[in-house]
Copies of this chain bind each other. A is one copy, B any other.
Amino acid sequence: MSDFPVSLLKGYEDFMSGRYVEESGRYRSLAEKGQKPHTLMIACCDSRAAPETIFNCGPGELFVVRNVANLVPPYEPDGQFHATSAALEYAVQALKIRDIVVMGHGRCGGIQAALDPMDEPLSPGDFIGKWMGMLRSTADQIPSTEIMTQSERQTALERVSIRNSIANLKTFPCIRILEEKGSMRIHGAWFDISTGELWVMDGKTGDFIRPQA
Chain A contact residues, CB within 8 Å of chain B: 1-5, 7-9, 11-16, 18-20, 24, 27-28, 30-32, 34-35, 37-39, 45-50, 52-68, 71, 73, 75, 77, 79-91, 93-95, 99, 101, 106-107, 109-110, 113, 122-128, 130-134, 138, 141-144, 147-152, 156, 159-160, 172-174, 185, 187, 189, 193-196, 198, 200-203, 205-207, 209-213
Chain B CB within 10 Å — which of A2, A141, A156 has the most?
A: A2
Q: Point out the residue from B14, B113, B147, B194 that lies within 8 Å of A31, measured CB to CB.
A: B194
Residue of B nearest to A80 (CB): B80
| Copies of this chain in its oligomeric complex | 4
Q: Point out the residue from B86, B122, B205 that lies within 8 Å of A149, measured CB to CB.
A: B205
If the complex has contacts A18-B56, A123-B173, A147-B141, are A82 and B48 also in contact, measured as CB distance less than 8 A? no
